[in-house]
């Protein structure tokens, strides 16, 4: 039986006490291992992640360091199956980044919980918790999933780059495309280097979720942005990506391009694709911006990160936009 690496990254899953606070990993991991071995016959080994932090503090650096650990375990210990325990706040982002960078090179299930695994004292499994059921679900499926990255939550298994957190407190906190459904998944893995991690810390992405406002206000904001342009600007439009524009707004978007800022149009709606049948298509062509082909917002972030670490210029981002699947 091949070994499964269980990597712990923190989050509510490993908290104890009242109010909740994280149990140090050197105390939590032996307890976690004992719980798992009482529920499965899998050959398991627990590892602390390079960064064990609240998931709201995670950034690209955090997930790239995690990927580095996974790739090291692959090459040095020939481990090809991984379960990652991660906080729920940015679990969908972690899942999407791992999906794009690991692709089909191994088998990974990410999971987490809305409630801690252990009781207040930290000496037994909590009576009412989704942590144990989510963990056991991941353990039960790790030998049966296809190659790639998946997210397990509330007895559901999703393609990793498709998942999104859609509820703050319910146990069924995540939605996505079922892993049983065949979809286009990232195919080319990326070996993470120290240079990648250093560069990732300079990535500047601004996400602008459009609100009903006057066009002059949007134009003014875009003009201010040119003084210190981000690497990528995400415009979240209404419905299928609709944004009311005028010549001044289009001019400012073109000015941002002159500052090596790539603008990408997406939608603030949780599920569904951008639709170019409406008047939206004409101004998009005129402004010369890209339209997202990602499944969701976390998937779009992961695509952007991979582009940024592979290329340097906006022309290269455009040329290789379709290559990041």
Q: Which pLDDT tens digit goes with each residue over 34-58? A: 999 999 999 999 999 999 999 999 9
Reported as a pLDDT band with limits 50, 70 and 90, residue 63 is very high
Do 154 and 12 share a structural domain? yes
Do 229 and 145 share a structural domain? no
Check if the beta carbon of residue 46 is closer than 8 Å to that of residue 32. Answer: yes
pLDDT at 220 over 70: yes
pLDDT at 310 over 80: yes
Reported as a pLDDT band with limits 50, 70 and 90, residue 272 is confident
pLDDT at 240 over 90: no
Do 167 and 32 share a structural domain? yes
**Rounded percentage of the chain residues whose pLDDT exceeds 90:** 90
Check if the beta carbon of residue 175 is closer than 8 Å to that of residue 153. Answer: no
82-91, 105-114, 241-250, 278-287: the lowest-pLDDT one: 278-287
In a domain, 180, yes or no: no
Do 212 and 169 share a structural domain? no
Instruction: Give, in order, the Cα–Cα distances in Å from 309 to each of 131, 139, 221.
Output: 34, 33, 28
pLDDT at 150 over 70: yes
Q: What is the CA 40 to chain-centroid distance, rounded? A: 28
Instruction: Read off the pLDDT of residues 67-121 as tens digits, 9 standing for 90 and up.
Output: 999 999 999 999 999 999 999 999 999 999 999 999 999 999 999 999 999 999 9
Q: What is the pLDDT of residue 37?
A: 96
Do 260 and 138 share a structural domain? no
Do 43 and 170 share a structural domain? yes
Q: What is the pLDDT of residue 268?
A: 93
Q: What is the pLDDT of residue 241?
A: 87
Reported as a pLDDT band with limits 50, 70 and 90, residue 325 is low
CA dihedral sign, ordered 88, 89, 92, 95: negative
Last residue in a domain, options 133, 159, 175: 175
Do 146 and 37 share a structural domain? yes
Q: What is the pLDDT of residue 9?
A: 96
Angle at 191 (CA atoms; ends 189, 197), nearest 5 degrees: 120
* Residue 113 phi, psi (nearest 5): -160, 160
Check if the beta carbon of residue 232 is closer than 8 Å to that of residue 207. Answer: no
Q: What is the pLDDT of residue 280?
A: 59
Do 131 and 15 share a structural domain? yes
Burial class (CB in 10 A: 0-12, 13-18, 19+), 169: exposed
In a domain, 181, yes or no: no
Q: How far, in Å, CA of 203 to CA of 21, rounded?
A: 31
In a domain, 15, yes or no: yes
Reported as a pLDDT band with limits 50, 70 and 90, residue 66 is very high
Q: What value does the mean pLDDT of the chain take?
A: 94
Do 224 and 155 share a structural domain? no
pLDDT at 276 over 70: no
Do 53 and 140 share a structural domain? yes
Q: What is the pLDDT of residue 279?
A: 52
Do 314 and 252 share a structural domain? yes
Do 67 and 159 share a structural domain? yes
Check if the beta carbon of residue 191 is closer than 8 Å to that of residue 104. Answer: no
Number of domains in the chain: 2
**Top-confidence residue, 274 or 206:** 206
Q: What is the pLDDT of residue 277?
A: 56
- SS3 for 135-172 is HHHHHHHCCCCCCEEEEEECCEEEEHHHCEECCCCCCC
What is the domain extent for residue 10? Answer: 4-175
Burial class (CB in 10 A: 0-12, 13-18, 19+), 136: middle
In a domain, 60, yes or no: yes
Check if the beta carbon of residue 90 is closer than 8 Å to that of residue 55. Answer: yes
Q: What is the pLDDT of residue 217?
A: 96
pLDDT at 189 over 70: yes
CB atoms within 10 A of CB 24: 11
Q: What is the pLDDT of residue 278?
A: 56
pLDDT at 324 over 70: no
């Amino acid at each position: 039986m091949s070994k499964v690496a269980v990597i712990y990254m923190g989050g509510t899953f490993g908290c104890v006490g009242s109010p909740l606070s994280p149990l140090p990993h050197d105390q939590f991991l032996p307890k976690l291992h004992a719980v798992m071995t009482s529920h499965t016959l899998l050959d398991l080994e627990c590892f602390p992640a390079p960064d064990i932090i609240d998931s709201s503090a995670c950034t690209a650096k955090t997930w790239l360091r995690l990927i580095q650990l996974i790739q090291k375990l692959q090459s040095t210990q020939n481990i090809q199956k991984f379960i990652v325990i991660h906080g729920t706040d940015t679990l969908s982002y972690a899942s999407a980044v791992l999906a794009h960078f690991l692709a089909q090179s191994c088998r990974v299930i990410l999971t987490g919980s809305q409630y801690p695994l252990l009781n207040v004292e930290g000496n037994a499994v909590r009576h009412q918790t989704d942590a144990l059921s989510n963990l056991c679900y991941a353990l039960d499926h790790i030998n049966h999933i296809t190659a790639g990255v998946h997210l397990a939550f509330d007895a559901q298994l999703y393609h990793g780059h498709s998942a999104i957190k859609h509820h703050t407190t319910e146990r069924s906190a995540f939605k996505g495309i079922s892993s049983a459904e065949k979809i286009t998944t990232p195919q080319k893995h990326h070996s993470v280097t120290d240079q990648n991690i250093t560069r990732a810390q300079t990535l500047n992405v601004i996400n602008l979720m459009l609100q009903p406002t006057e066009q002059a206000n949007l134009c003014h904001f875009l003009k201010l942005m040119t003084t210190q342009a981000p690497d990528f600007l995400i415009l979240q439009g209404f419905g299928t990506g609709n944004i009311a524009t005028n010549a001044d707004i289009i001019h400012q978007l073109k000015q941002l391009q002159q500052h090596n800022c790539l603008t990408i149009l997406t939608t603030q709606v949780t599920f569904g694709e951008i639709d170019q049948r409406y008047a939206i298509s004409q101004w998009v062509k005129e402004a010369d911006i890209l339209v997202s082909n990602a499944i969701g917002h976390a998937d779009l972030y992961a695509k952007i990160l991979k582009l940024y670490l592979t290329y340097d210029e906006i022309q290269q981002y455009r040329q290789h936009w379709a290559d990041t699947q």
